[in-house]
Structure 1
Amino acid sequence: MYLVWGIVGAVIGAFVGEGFGGGIAGFAIGFLWGRTSQLRRELDDARRAIERLETASVTQPAVDVGPSPAVSTVQPPTPPPMPEAPTPWPAPEQASRPREALVEDVRHEPAPLPSAPREPLPPPGPAGPTVVERLTASIKRWFTEGNVPVKVGMLVLFAGIAAFLKYASDSGLLRVPVSVRLSLVALAAIAGVAFGWRQRDRRRAFALSLQGGAIGVLVMTVFAAYRLYGVLPAGATFALLIVFVGALGVLAVVQDALALAVLGLVAGFAAPIIASSGHGNHVALFSYYAVLNLGILGIAWKRAWRVLNVLGFIATFGVGTAWGVLSYNPALFASTEPFLILHFLLYVAVPWLHVLRSPRRERAILDGCLMFGNPIACLLLQGALLDWQPMPLAISALVAAAIYVAIAFAIRRRDDMTLLRETWAVLAVAFATLAVPLALSASVTASVFALEGAGLIWLGFRQGRRLPRWSGVGLQLVAGAAWVLATVFHSHYNDTPFLNAVFIGSLLLVVGAVAGVWQFDRHGASQGVSSLARIGLLVWAVLWWMVAFAYEIETFVVDDRIAAASWLALLSVTGCLLALACRRVRKLDLGVVLAFGLPLALLAGISVVLSAANAGIQWLLGWPLLAVAIGAVAGVFALRAVQAHRVASVTLWWLHWLAVFTTAIALAIDPSWSLGQGWQMLACALPTLVLAALVLWGGRWLAMSLADRATDIRYAVGACATLAIIIVGLQALSSAGNPKPLPFLPVLNPLDLLLLAVLAFAARAMSDRLVPGRVRTWRPAVLAAMFFVIATSMTLRAVHHLGGVPWNDYMPRSSLAELSLTVVWSAIGVVAWVLGSRRGQRLLWLAGAATMALVLLKLLLVDRGHLGNLFGIASFIAYGLLCTVIGYLAPAPPRVAANDPSESPHAS
């Protein structure tokens, strides 16, 4: 039931708050209200049950077989004690009775009771459902049982009433002065702080949360009074915020409360931002933040509160970055740089103190956010302050490296800080390495990084350490990025083939990667991540090999025919070299190489087609066709030679030709044909449709000569074809689809037919035997969703062509498009609703109900602009009444066949 309250609150909040945030807040309030009410009822029931048990245990008569020194019902019967033994239970009048009467009473008691052993307690019953299970069950019952349309109608009525209340408030009927509202909120927050202070001993967690939340409310109230309503001046606002921060600090220290310290720090960092008028002094701002960070440093000396340290770091550098973006200019460098250096040194010391204050067993755990975030943030800010001048930045990096070397050297004798010392040493090496590209050119930097990476890989294997090894692998990637920067942003014209900076730099990258592959192979790294690194470095080497010669071909080969021949020669030589490498170097798999090398063949094939198109040559005639045939035959022979990873190789081979023929068709369309965009997209989608048809009906053609892996190949190629179909469908959905030279007809136009073909492929593919059973169970839902999206696209396309609405981002907001979508969606929903109700199919009925709910949601979020007048309010109330009537005429069918057609008891 509390879920219902949450939904009611969400609807009311959405209208009162005029936005999504109001709906979220309303849902939270309603949900908590309902949940609190339910918990209160459960608590009262439990209290009454405990009282009944206590009453029953007190009034139950005790069985006494005679005086005994202890009361126990499991002891065996004992002989009558001596008269002087104490009797704990009998009343005074029983003690005065004669012994014969007592014996007679004992004879009338059930004799077996004292001697019978107590029967074991029954095993506890199964545990009750958890809160999540109860919540899930409640949601399911609410949306699947009972009369759902009536419930929706009631919610819409609530929305209409909420809109009426808002209308009354806007009309001045419920208006309250702003100062009175702010004062009431502040008084309530102060009362919350006082009450939390009084509860600090008995209910510590509750008291701390209440104090922090109340002071947070005070901070937000002051902010609203200053920024939103202009009730407080800037000076008073800043002073009040300082008072609140100080109060939070005192409360945190006195009560040893980290939560209050964090809240006080947040308020302290937010105070100058809240009270800022946009014309403040940055020196005062950073001085104030320096004082706050010195306080964090002092706390770090006493307590290992990591959250406080990270929060201070994020706030300091976040605000500093925002100020730099908005207000910094080079004239302020002298007054800004000292604060950057100060905060860099502070947050170098803070993690050090954190390690010192931590227990000895936890000193191996470092704060990575501060250890690595501080130098990175300071380096980026330093670059912005220096306007990214290379040489000053190189000097700054060397100074930072010297600082890290000095502090690492200072703790060299502390065995309990080995990890901290090594981390600072790594940062020193990183900054020293970073100084190289800042002081030297990008092409030289790439070569240095590639050779340095190979050296680090060798050093890592030599010392048996992973960090240098993987740093070397990462440095290979950095070298490639440096080469790209050197090539893209700097001109390297040279009229000498093969003796130019680009070619030589690329070959040095190849040398570095090949050296890394050799090191991984030499030391027997054949499993896990090391195997992936070895293969990745090999692919990296092949990539830069191809880049080097591609640059030569594109730069120095002018004739397109010779360029295409050069590409084929390059691929042939590369394949031979890879085959020799797989023979000479152990643990390298030719299948893997070919699987990753086939995308290069894809680039070559597309290059052949593009070169033919640029030269005005028809790609279906002459040497382009010969080049394509040679590539296809070579690919088939290569796939036959593969002994492992055959599925991946065949899959990539098919994707290669899919891309080649798609590109070729796109380039073969002559602009003089005046074909519309719809026909062009349909023509380009033909290779994808053919591949999809082969997946569904031509499994043997897909596998070629690998008949033993036909199922696996069909599965892999089918997955890729599905992805290609999805891409085609997404492009068709977002296209206007001009059907020139034919007139536009709804459904009977190229793009609509293409979308229907995509829908047919999805329907056939999801029923295939290779598809997992779980996927097949989702087939109706997926097809329904696809049909809904396709119908929406068809509707918008018809609005564009028949209604003359421009096809752009604003078209769905036009009145004609909104009307058309409402009509089409409602028609789909009504058909599904009625058919589901008449046929007794609950899922179909629920689909219709969901569609109608979507239309209602569209009205609430898109068409609610008229709720500011009584007519709009009346329309929502009328819609709620209409849903109630529909619930009476077409309720949900029963889940299973039953004789009693009455509604579920959970309907309310």
Structure 2
Amino acid sequence: PAPAREAAPPPAAPPAAWTPPAAPPRDVVGEALGRAVDAVRGWFTEGNVPVKIGMLVLLAGVAALLKYASDQGWVRVPIELRLAGVAAAALGGLVFAWRQRETRRAFSLSLQGGAIGVLMLVTFAAFKLYHLIPAGAAFGITIALVAGLCVLAVLQDALALAVFGILAGFLAPIWLSTGSGNHVALFSYYAVLNLGIFAIAWNRPWRLLNLIGFVFTFAIGTLWGVLDYRPEKFASTEPFLILFFALYLLIPVFYANRRSAAGGNAYRAVDGTLVIGTPLVVFALQAGLLHGAPFGDGRMPLALSALAMAATYALLAAGLRSRPRFATLIETWAVIAVGFATLAVPLALSARATASVFAIEGAVLVWLGLRQDRRLPQLTGLLLQAGAALAYVAGIGGLSAGFTPTAALASTTPIANAAYMSALLIAIGGFATAWIYRRTLDTGVVALFALWGLGWWTFAGGQEIVDHVPDRYAIDAMFAFLAGTGWLTAEVRRRFDAFPVFGATAALALALGVPFAMLQSADHAHPFAHGGALAWLFYAVAGWRALTCLRATGMPVRLLAHGGWWWSWIAAIALGAFHLVYHDSDVGATYVPGMGDGWRIVALGLPVLLFAAALRLRPALLAPPLARGFEDYRSVLLASAAAVLSLGWLLSLFFPGASAPLPWVTVLNPLELFQLAALALLAHEVWGMGRQGGRIGVPLFALATFAWITFATLRGAHHWGDVAWSPSMLGDSVVQTALTVVWSVLGVLGWIFGSRRGDRLLWGAGAVLMGVVLLKLLIVDRSNLGDIFGIVSFIAYGLLCAAVGYFAPAPPRRAATESPA
């Protein structure tokens, strides 16, 4: 036969497609610092380095020499001639440099810048130091020099020329300052320099020049403000701040226009330092100028300043929105406008109004950020909502100026007041954020936003109830408010599957009926007093509708909602019934006077007993309105009912069970009938357990029955033997005799029925009980042999044992098929 061929190996899996590794996150700050260091290094190491350094040193030396010569009086030549000589030398150098522009470009440009800088120094010295020329002439010459500098720089496309000239111009007031404090002259001079930078920026995208002007202008302005500013100088200083703000507001527009026209990256076309730095620096300086201003308290003018800046940026963004090349700049301006509008709110308004605006603005920013797929607006929006909460809390605590704790939440108008509306808007902001993120974030995160809103919603409503509802109705109003909240959240859950947390909230609101029934009873006797009846009527309507809305939810939610609903009604009915039969000597009034404690126990326990019986025997009565899925959790409800009923049954054993105004009859009294009914329900449950469950259920039922008979015996001794109901009653001979007789009867019955039915377990239980009675006779009843009751105990035990010896003298035999142990 042919040899079997070897199975061909399976085809090799195709190689997985190579995916490039994810790019590491950019270090924006590090890159910016690196570029700055590279720029400085390049300026000092590239091009005509000697002339660059030489011109810088020369300018510094000339300035220092002029000042020193002036201070020391060394030069006897009239100052006019000295300044004229320096100016002539500078003009000669400028002409010489212009002629060298083609052959020695770097040298020529540096020399041109230095020459013009010297001319600026001479002009400033002639005006401010020596008062040789009037202010108008000095500014005219300076303007001409700056204009000439701008023309030369633009014509030759020479950034270095512009840098040298502008540096010289900015350094001149520092080197030649006399300390006279004439800030108007200083800022006027700087205004001319900045206008030159503005003119250059119109034609050339020279970011370095813009930054030099920005840094020198605001750094020197800040230094002057710290050292020399006083509130009375506001009127002469504010116009310059506005002018500088306007210049450096528009310069980035020229820069972005030039870079975009040259095909640059849209994001790199935005000078972030100027775009973001200008409003921050200007607003900080504005705050300093307004501090201690002669008008107002400083807060409202500063708020108006912030609002004006917001309006300025918003108008600029709106005006350029049709130009795609400015898209990034427009977005940045929009964010700045929103930021300053936001800042104006706490400056101008109270903490509550601030909270309102921040909450709505935060939600809008979250929506805008998600729509644009940008994280910064989203994060800003979330932070604003947190800020809204902090502002509200600050308002309550009186942390805001003019906002006292006593007036924080006080208002004479319910609902239509600032405190409620502020908290409500914070809640709406949370709900809106949850709605915005319902399709993009994890359900748990969305639930956090929804819970944030629910928390503020609950706080707002609760605070209104505390403030405006009379104390006697406050608990009822709060209960109705929470029931309504459960209804509303259930409606939301029914319509939108993205909010499962609202289903859980509705279920929890329905379950709160249990503690509120207790609170109502503690506050005004029973749940239906005062406004309680109306509150429970509203709970019935709202709860039924909420349960209807929750039909499609998961089993845990339905269990909590439906179970909480029924347990709330059980608690309310039980506490209401308890009040009917309860008599408080301090209060006095009661609906049915003179009721014994047995009735009170029945009033509390009967609703639970009926609930458990209905769950076990007639579940269809309790299923609506969640009939379809009721069987999924009926066993859990039955277990909870059994647990509560068992606990109540055990506690009821320790009560005397007075049945006044009816006479007390053993077994036929309210308490023992209730206990017997509970035992009957337990017997029905044990009967349906089958053999497996019966191994636990039968002994449990037997133990419960024995306990019930024992306590019934004690009650008989209490009511018929006039023995006080207390732990000390166990030392009474009547009680001990009754227990001996009853236990002996039970033991004998166990012997007899166990023998006749062939049930060794039952016969053994009877034997154990008779043994316990015998020990009791020897230890306890022996001391009572001196009275009739002790004697009766011994006689009764002996007679019963004799009867057992006659009817069941020996334990039942094992079945023939049962193997011996």
Does TM, scored on the shorter chain, surpass 0.5?
A: no
- Structure number with greater CO (CA < 8 Å, separation at least 6) is 1
The TM-score with structure 2 as length reference comes to: 0.39
The TM-score with structure 1 as length reference comes to: 0.36
Structure number, greater radius of gyration: 2
